[in-house]
Structures are given as C-alpha cells and as structure tokens.
Amino acid sequence: MALLSYRSKPHCGGQGVYLRHLSRELVDLGHTVEVLSGQPYPDLDRDAIALTKIPSLDLYRDEDPFRTPALAEFRDWIDVLEFAHMRTGGFPEPLTFSLRVLRELRRRRRDFDVAHDNQVLGLGNLGIARLGLPLVTSIHHPISVDRRIEIEAAQGLKQKLGKRRWYGFVGMQAQVSRRVGPVLTVSESSKVDIVKDFRVDPRDIEILPLGVDTRIFHPRGSAAERVRGRIVAMASADAPIKGVDVLLRAVAKVATERDVHVIVVSRPQKDGPTEKLVRELALGERVRFVSGVGDTELGELLASAEVAVVPSRYEGFSLPAVEHMASGTPLVASRAGALPEVVGDAAVLVEPGDVEELATVLRRLHDSAEERGRLGAAGLARVQERFAWRAVAQATVEHYRTAITQQNYLRLAARGRGAT
C-alpha cells in the first residue's frame, strides 16, 4: 500500500495524525505499507513502515516561511513551478506533490497493489489511474469551507483577494475529486459538504469515522488531580476557522471573576493576529502556547485539564475532540460542522463564534465539579464505544480490496475490447 500525503505534521493537523495511526494499524494487520510524504515528514510508529521522502522546496517551514531558495536548490521544472506559484500568492503543494509522486509511482508501479491519497487531490492524481494502480482517496473535509471562512474574516479588499489567490488550489481539488473514484470521508457533515462544494456524486462517497490512540490519550488519576482552572485546546492558533480568538476572548471574560488559565497546543505566528490579541486582552500569564511536545507529554497535558474546548467555526471531524474525550476531560465544543455528530451528548455545545455563550459555559463548568465529572465520564464512554483505529484500518482495507477488484475488471474489459 502506498499512502500519499503532501504534508504530515505529526501532532498538529489531522492529515499527519491520520497517516500515523492508519499506517500503524495496517502494518499490525499484516499489510506492507509505504508512506510517500512531503515536508514536514511524519512520525511513524513501526519500523516496518517505509518512509519515502518526496521533498518539496519546503517554502513554508516554521522557522523561515515564504523563503527564497538558493539557486542550487532547484532540481527541475516542478521546483520552478512551485516557487513561481508561491511568489504569486498561491499555495502550490497539493499540485506539485501530486506531480512528484506520480513520477515516483510511474517508476515503481509494480511495487504497490493500491494507492491511498490523504487529501492531496492534485492533478497528478489523475495520472495514477492511467498507471493501472487502484486509488482510494480520503477527503477529511473540503478546503472550500476553510476558504469561505478565511475570506469572510479577511479585512479589506487586498486581504480578501490575497486569500482567494492562496486558496486557488481548491478549484483543482474539486475537479480531481469528481474524477478519482471512491472517496472516504469522516462524517455525514463532511459528505454533505463534499457533495455541495465539490459536486462529487454521493454514491462515490463512503463514511468512515476516525479513531483515537488510547495508549496516549486516557485519564490519569482522579478528577481531584487535574489542575484547577486549567483549560486546554488543540488548534492552529492563527487560522480563523479554528476559533482560538473566540476562546481567548471568552477566557479573558472569565478570568475577571475566576482563577482560570488556558493552554493552547499550537505555535502562533510571531507578532501575528493571535499574539496581538493576547496583548490586546492583557491575558499575560493566563495563556500559554506549547508546540513540539511528545506523545506522553501531550497525553498528560490533555488529562491534566479541568475543561477542554474545541471552539472551531467548522470541523469535518475533529480528532482533538475525540482525544479530549478519551482523556476523560469535560468538553465544550462548537455547534459547527461535524462536531455535534462526533461528540453526541458527551459535550456541551455552544454557538460558533459566540464569546458570551462560551464564557458562560466555562464559568458554569469551573463552578460545578458534578457537571465536569458527568461530562468527562460521558466522553470517555463514547470513545470506548465508537472510535478505535483498529476498526478504522480494517474497514479501510475492505475499501482497498474493492478498488483493486474494480481495477481488475477494468483491465479485463480493456483486454476484451482489444481482442475484438
């Protein structure tokens, strides 16, 4: 199996987390797995998983975003295309990764039985079918939703035009998604959005929820051992779709009356919108951002909180929501996208973007150990009943088998036409 992912950040961003856990479970089921990824490269849990690096120019590395590479770094025309696309305000990685990975698969076609695209949806993917290699595609949610929210949040015509250019790849993804064959998605909400925004035939889409690694995310000790007043969130700090601004404004209100603080698992842009908001709200030591933490530290952090928050304006699934619930942490989540579907009655739901409602719920939970205990137990029970990576991998393999069978029929049919 070839798992394709244009960027695979291990702990922040659903694509890297999905790749890591799915690859582990596939290997544990006895399959041979090779990950083909661009930067940032994934953390993989088994030595048996091969990692083939498909390097880009890495134009968006954390320490040097939108960099200008040295002339010696350019290897071919795809690198030139990638740099030119970036310099004109676009995001080239889905397209350029798909072209590079097609070149790799063309050279190694006989090494794989099936390819699984982890939401690349680049034009190069259309060439995979011409290689005769069965392809299964995961779309966690259509990025058209991110585009819509970011354009709405942009201030002024220049910012709005800039966001439209940045998200120019979304049109390509919609075109590709209608032509690649079977699509897996993670929730009914995401399926509806894929049909609506990308115009994919609903008969081509199967729903397969994600899982959670309970070796990492599980309760530690008793409720009394949680840090009093601690609120935790895992979300890209500067992305409007993730609602970190809403959380910070709500915490600022609660902090005038209660001894609370918030830890956000993310790295905000230096002097970017989130850092400016923290200064504007005078949160000071009430807020802390952490990044680059290991599995054990992350699991302990989530289990140390009195309350977890997923304040997103949209989610196609939300692995963080499931990880918070698996940690036995009382969860507050937005009534947005797939979140109500994922959390059921095991979380308090609030209107996305409503600072006052979120602040009211945070005050109530801070004051009620009984409600926190009930919510934490309900979340843990829901995870144990519904979300397991082994089940996700087993179901995914069945989709691989179906794609292989269909490709074999097409091959036989083509031979038959040739014979006549």
The mean pLDDT value for 109-114 works out to: 96
Query: For position 222, what pLDDT does the model report?
Result: 81
> pLDDT by residue (tens digit) across 352-384?
999 999 999 999 999 999 999 999 999 999 999
Distance of CA 166 to the CA centre of its chain: 18
Q: How confident is the model at residue 13 (pLDDT cuts 50, 70, 90)?
A: low
Taking the CA atoms of residue 355, residue 358, residue 364 and residue 368 in that order, the dihedral angle to the nearest 10 degrees is -150
The mean pLDDT value for 226-240 works out to: 94
N- to C-terminal Cα separation, the chain: 34
pLDDT above 60: residue 420? no
Distance (Å, whole) CA 38 – CA 4:
9
The mean pLDDT value for 271-294 works out to: 94
Report the sign of the C-alpha dihedral through residues 364, 370, 373, 379, in that order.
negative
Percentage of residues of the chain with pLDDT beyond 70: 98
Distance (Å, whole) CA 337 – CA 318:
10
Query: For position 417, what pLDDT does the model report?
Result: 64
pLDDT above 90: residue 410? no
Query: Rounded mean pLDDT of the chain?
Result: 94
Outline where DSSP puts E strands in 167-271. Answer: 183-185, 205-207, 230-234, 261-265
Looking up tokens 């009914």 gives: 188
Distance (Å, whole) CA 414 – CA 132:
11
Phi and psi, residue 32, nearest 5°: -100, 125
Superfamily classification of domain 223-386: Glycogen Phosphorylase B; (3.40.50.2000)
- Token output for 318: 């939300």
- Token output for 17: 């987390």
Distance (Å, whole) CA 128 – CA 142:
21
The mean pLDDT value for 239-253 works out to: 96
- Token output for 53: 């690096």
194 versus 221: which is more confidently predicted? 194
205-207: strand order across its sheet: 50-53, 34-37, 2-5, 115-118, 135-138, 183-185, 205-207
Distance (Å, whole) CA 321 – CA 342:
8
Hey, what amino acid is at 142? P
Go through the chain and tell me how many residues it has: 420
Percentage of residues of the chain with pLDDT beyond 90: 86
Q: What is the DSSP letter of 155?
A: -
> pLDDT by residue (tens digit) across 32-46?
999 999 999 999 999
pLDDT above 80: residue 14? no
Residues of the chain with CATH 3.40.50.2000: 2-211+389-419, 223-386
pTM above 0.85, yes or no: yes
The mean pLDDT value for 275-284 works out to: 95
> pLDDT by residue (tens digit) across 154-211?
989 999 999 999 999 999 999 999 999 999 999 999 999 999 999 999 999 999 999 9
Query: For position 400, what pLDDT does the model report?
Result: 97
287-290: strand order across its sheet: 287-290, 261-265, 230-234, 307-310, 331-334, 348-350
Q: Report the CATH architecture of 2-211+389-419.
A: 3-Layer(aba) Sandwich (3.40)
pLDDT above 90: residue 308? yes
The mean pLDDT value for 251-262 works out to: 97
Report the sign of the C-alpha dihedral through residues 309, 312, 313, 314, in that order.
negative
Q: How confident is the model at residue 258 (pLDDT cuts 50, 70, 90)?
A: very high
The mean pLDDT value for 47-55 works out to: 97
With vertex at residue 6, the alpha carbon angle to CA 148 and CA 201, rounded to the nearest 5 degrees, is 55
> pLDDT by residue (tens digit) across 321-359?
999 999 999 999 999 999 999 999 999 999 999 999 999
Distance of CA 349 to the CA centre of its chain: 21
Query: For position 418, what pLDDT does the model report?
Result: 61
Query: For position 11, what pLDDT does the model report?
Result: 64
The mean pLDDT value for 215-232 works out to: 91
165 versus 225: which is more confidently predicted? 165
